[in-house]
Amino acid sequence: MPSEATPLVRAEHTEEGVAEIIIARPAVRNALNEPTALALNEALATVAADPQVRCVILSGEGSAFCAGADLAEFEKASTQPASERLATLFLPALRSMMTMEKPVIAAVSGAAAGMGVSYVLASDMVVMGRSAYLKLAFINIGLIPDGGACWHLVRKLGHAQAFEMAALATPIDAERCVALGLANRAVEDDQVLAEARALAQALVAQSPQALGSTKRAMRQAANLSLEDTLTLEGALQDECKATDDFHARVAAFRHRRRN
C-alpha cells in the first residue's frame, strides 16, 4: 500500500494548458478510500480554478481506471448514512468536473466500476482502451447506482438500456461504449493516454471562451426547453463575440481567405 508520503492523487501539468489528474492506488485498482476521494475533490477544484489550465485529463495509475469506493472502508463506516458520505467524499469532484468551463477527458484503462463509472459519465470526452469496460456493480452489493449515474445513463441510453446495465451489472466493453455514445474513442490499450493527450491538445487550440461556453450550453441544454436553450445560446454568443480572441480569430480567418 502507498506510504503517507506517496500521493493518492497526482496532478501533473504535462503540456501548456493541460493538467493530468491521476488516481494513484494501483494495488487496489484505484479504489477510493476517504483520503483518496478527498484528494481527488481537492485536485479537481484546484484545476477548475486555475486560469492556466484549459483542459483536464483524468486517469488511473496501473491496470485500472477506478474500481469505485473502497468496500473495506465503506463497511467500517456503515453507521454513517450513505447520502452523507456521498455528499462529502464523491459529489464535490463530480460537480467540479461537470461545472468547470474547461473540458474533462477520461482516459480509461481496464475497469471503471461503481463510482468509477460515475466519473467517466461526468467527463466531457472519454477515451477507452480496447480491453477497458464500464461496470455498474452497485447491485451486486445491494445498492443502486449513484454519483449521478442514473441521471446520465437514462439521458444517454434511454430507460431500457440504462436499466439493464444497472440491474444486471452488465460490463460494457469499449467498442460498445463507443457505439452507445458513452465513449468517444476505443484505442489500443497502450495508446489511451496518447490519444487523450492528442485530444487535449486539439481542444486547447480552440478559443477558451468558446470552448467553455460550448460546454456550459450543452450541459444546461439537457434540462432546458428549446426556447430557453435558444436564449442561453444567444447570451453566450454575445459573450464570445465581445472577446479579443474572437476578433483575432476572425481577422486570421479573413487573412487566410485572402491568401
Which pLDDT tens digit goes with each residue over 34-77?
Answer: 999 999 999 999 999 999 999 999 999 999 999 999 988 776 66
Pairing of strands 104-108, 111-113: unpaired
Phi–psi pair at 102, nearest 5 degrees: -150, 145
C-alpha cell at 155: 439521458
C-alpha cell at 192: 489511451
Tell me the pLDDT tens digit for each residue of 91-109.
Answer: 999 999 999 999 999 999 9
Of 81 and 103, the structure prediction assigns the larger pLDDT to: 103
Q: List the one residue out of 62, 82, 56, 75 whose CA is nearest residue 2.
A: 62
Please state, in angstroms and as integers, the Cα–Cα distance from residue 184 to each residue in 11, 79, 156, 246, following that order: 24, 40, 13, 28
Amino acid at 25: R
May I ask the CATH architecture of the domain 208-258? Orthogonal Bundle (1.10)
CB under 8 A, 24+ apart: contacts of 136-142 = 136/165, 136/166, 136/169, 137/68, 137/113, 137/169, 138/114, 138/166, 138/169, 139/166, 139/167, 139/168, 139/169, 140/169, 141/71
pTM for this one? 0.92
Pairing of strands 111-113, 172-173: unpaired
CB of 12 closer than 8 Å to CB of 195:
no
Chain center to CA of 60:
12
pLDDT(78) > 70: no
Percent composition of the chain: helix, strand, coil (DSSP 3-state, to 5): 55, 15, 30
Which CATH number is associated with domain 9-204?
3.90.226.10
Q: Mean pLDDT throughout 222-237?
A: 94
Of 247 and 164, the structure prediction assigns the larger pLDDT to: 164
Domain ranges of the chain: 9-204, 208-258
